[in-house]
Amino acid sequence: MASRHGVLVRFTGFIILISAVGVKACSDPLGMESGDIPDESITASSTHSPGLEPYLGRLNGVAGGGGWVAKYLAIGQWLQVDLGEMKRVMGTIIQGRPSTDQRVTSYKLQYSTDRITWTTYAGSNGSEMVFPGNFDRSTPVPNLLNNPVDARYVRFVVQSWLGTIAMRAEIVGCNTTAVLPPACPHMLGMESGAIPDSSITASSFLDPSHEPYRGRLNGFAGAGAWVPKYNIIGQWFQPSVGRCSGEVPASVVDLREFKIVAQTSLNLGAVTRERWPSC
C-alpha cells in the first residue's frame, strides 16, 4: 500500500513503514490500535453522536459506528491524541469509516508538548504540509515525516473529506530522550474536572442545561456550554482555580479567581466553553 511518503507493510500484530531506502527506523505503532492509549486520551473538536466518539477512531477499529465522526462539516475539525509522554513522532496512518463511504481525504498535522502551544508540521519550503488521506473505506494510508518531531500531543486537522468527516488513525514513532520542558502555563482543571462544578459561577444562566459548570473545554453535557440568561454587555463567567502552586514567572499574574466579562456576542448571549492555562 503506497503513499507519497512510504509503503505500509502489515503483518499480524505489528506495522513496518518502508522508505525508498529501506526499513524506516523508529516506526512502532504508539498505541491507538493496540489500546495502549486509553480512551480518555483521545479527544476531538466535536462528535456527531453516541457511537462515533473520538476514542473509536482507532486504526482498524470496528466498535460502535466504526470510527470517529465529527459533528460539523468544516475545515479545521480535529482528532487529538495524548501519547502520555514525549515521543518521537515519525508518521501517521489513517483510514476511513468501514461501514460507509465517509472519510478524510486530506489533513494537516499539529503537535504540542503542553496542549496549549501548537505547531503545524511544515515542509522543507516552510509551508504547512497537507497530507493525502483516504481513497476508500479501509485501506490504511501512511504518511512519513521527513523531519520527525518530538511531541506528547498530536492532532489530525481535517482539510477535506468525502461524505462526512470520519477517521480511524494510528501514530507511529518511538521513545525519545526529549523531556517535557518545565512550563507555565498548564491546564488547571476546567476540562479535566479538577475544578469542581461548585467553583464555576456566572452572572446568570439561561436554563438548567446551560449552567456555568457546563462551560468546560470540550464538554458535551447538558447543552454543551454556559449561556447567560441576559443578552447584554457585562455578563460574566468566573471559575475559582484555587491556589497557584510553583514558581510563577514575573510576567504572569498570580490569581485565585478571575472573570471573563462579555462585551460582544453572536446569536444568543455569550456562549462559553473554557480552559484555564496557568501555573
Q: If DSSP states are collapsed to H, E and C, what string results for 210-230?
A: CCHHHCECCCCCCCCCECCCC
Instruction: Please report which confidence band the pLDDT of residue 25 belongs to, taking 50, 70 and 90 as the band edges.
Output: confident
**DSSP element (H, E) containing 108:** strand 103-112
Three-state SS for 179?
Answer: coil
Tens of pLDDT, residue by residue over 82-101, are 999 999 999 999 999 999 99
10 Å CB burial of residue 199 (0-12, 13-18, 19+) is: middle
25-175 and 184-279: identical CATH topology: yes
Query: Which numeric CATH code is attached to 184-279?
Result: 2.60.120.260
Q: Where are the domains of the chain?
A: 25-175, 184-279
pLDDT at 182: 62
Tens of pLDDT, residue by residue over 26-62, are 999 999 999 999 999 999 999 999 999 999 999 999 9
* Average pLDDT rounded to a whole number, residues 61-83: 97
Kindly provide the residue ranges of all beta strands, DSSP E only, lying in 163-262, ordered along the sequence.
Answer: 166-175, 186-187, 200-202, 236-239, 260-261
Three-state SS for 199?
Answer: helix
Classified by CATH at the fold level, domain 25-175 comes out as Jelly Rolls (2.60.120)
Tens of pLDDT, residue by residue over 154-174, are 999 999 999 999 999 999 999
For residue 211 the three cell numbers come to 449552567
Percent of the chain with pLDDT over 90: 58
Flag the least confident range among 67-81, 219-233, 249-263.
249-263
231 and 192 Cβ atoms separated by less than 8 Å:
no
Residue count (the chain): 279
Q: Which amino acid makes up residue 195?
A: I
Percent of the chain with pLDDT over 70: 76
CA distance 266 to 180: 38
pLDDT at 186 over 80: no
Instruction: Please report which confidence band the pLDDT of residue 278 belongs to, taking 50, 70 and 90 as the band edges.
Output: low
pLDDT at 85: 95
Q: Which of 31, 28, 87 is nearest to 58 (CA)?
A: 31
* Average pLDDT rounded to a whole number, residues 10-22: 44
